[in-house]
């Protein structure tokens, strides 16, 4: 791919839109990880008591 999304050939201006994948923010990943650890801890506590 590469190159510029804006090209000018033979008097014609062309703009090519490229859909880029979204990247999650670090805080979102930290929140997801904290939730997963909480669920894991709750399940582990329940299994140890049983």
* Report field, pTM of the whole predicted structure over 0.85: no
18-37, pLDDT tens digit by residue? 777 777 788 988 999 999 99
**pLDDT for 1 beyond 60:** no
CA distances from 4 to 17, 19, 33 (A): 10, 14, 38
Q: How many helices (H) and strands (E) does the chain have?
A: 1, 2
2-21, pLDDT tens digit by residue? 667 777 777 788 877 777 77
15 in Cβ contact with 5 (< 8 Å): yes
């Amino acid at each position: 791919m590469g190159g510029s999304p804006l090209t000018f050939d033979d008097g014609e201006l062309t703009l090519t839109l490229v859909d880029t994948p979204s990247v999650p923010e670090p805080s979102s990943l930290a929140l997801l990880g904290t939730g997963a650890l909480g669920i894991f801890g709750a399940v582990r506590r329940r299994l140890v008591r049983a």
